[in-house]
Structure 1
Amino acid sequence: MSTPVFEKIKLIRESERLNKRQFSELTGIAYSSLAGYESGDKKPGVEQIMKILQHPRFTKYTLWFMADQITPEAGQIAPALAHFGPQTTPSSHSDQKTG
């Protein structure tokens, strides 16, 4: 299941520990537009997405943003806060008692 664009933008910003104002200044995207993108009220155009992904700080997220894939060996990762992988993590419980 693909992550919506508005959520991906927010994940990138939060993963880089930037507030909306800082992210807006780095990318050149108006603060009000960014707020609309992150809330899902507005859809960013190609130009706005390119402003984000072409910034040197955010190019590492390009493959994840565009195709929901990562290749760490090529420097393409998902934001630290993004869920990437199985929806649930299986856990095998042992009968060992602790304490």
Structure 2
Amino acid sequence: MLLADRLKAVRTREKVTQAVLCEEVGLSISTLKKYESNLRIEISLVSLQKIVAHPRYRKYALWLLTGDVSALSEQVSPL
């Protein structure tokens, strides 16, 4: 699964729009749209940190990076 698909899956699971996620984490909506539409294949470390540092999305950090989950560290998949 591509990172673009993972980002969309997290938003879908959390029931938030692109605008809401961007407002919560401090990303521009155009940046997120580029990531989700795969126009920008590599996500910047700064953008990724903004997403996974937010309390709402922290539980998806491992899954966003690797596609893996870890029950011991409370890392989950939105699927």
The alignment's TM-score, normalised by the length of structure 2, stands at: 0.89
- Which residues in structure 2 correspond to 1:1-99 (within 5 Å)? 3-42=1-40, 43-79=42-78, 82=79
Which has the greater radius of gyration?
1
Greater relative contact order (Cα < 8 A, sep 6+): 2
Structure 2: runs of 5 or more not aligned = none
Which residue of structure 2 aligns with residue 91 of structure 1?
A: none
- What's the CA shift string for 1:7-35, capped at 9, x where partnerless? 11111111100011101101111011111
Higher helix proportion (structure 1 or 2): 2
Report the Cα distance in structure 2 between the residues aligned to 1:46 and 1:36, rounded to whole angstroms: 15
- Report the alpha carbon displacement of residue 66 of structure 1 after superposing the two structures with TM: 1.7
- What's the CA shift string for 1:21-66, capped at 9, x where partnerless? 1011011110111111100011321110111011111110111112
Structure 1: runs of 5 or more not aligned = 83-99
Which residue of structure 2 aligns with residue 90 of structure 1?
A: none
| RMSD of aligned alpha carbons | 1.1
Runs of 4+ in structure 1 deviating by more than 6 angstroms, as ranges, are none
The percentage of counterpart residues that share the same residue type is 27
SS at match of 2:65: helix
Letter aligned with residue 59 of structure 1: R
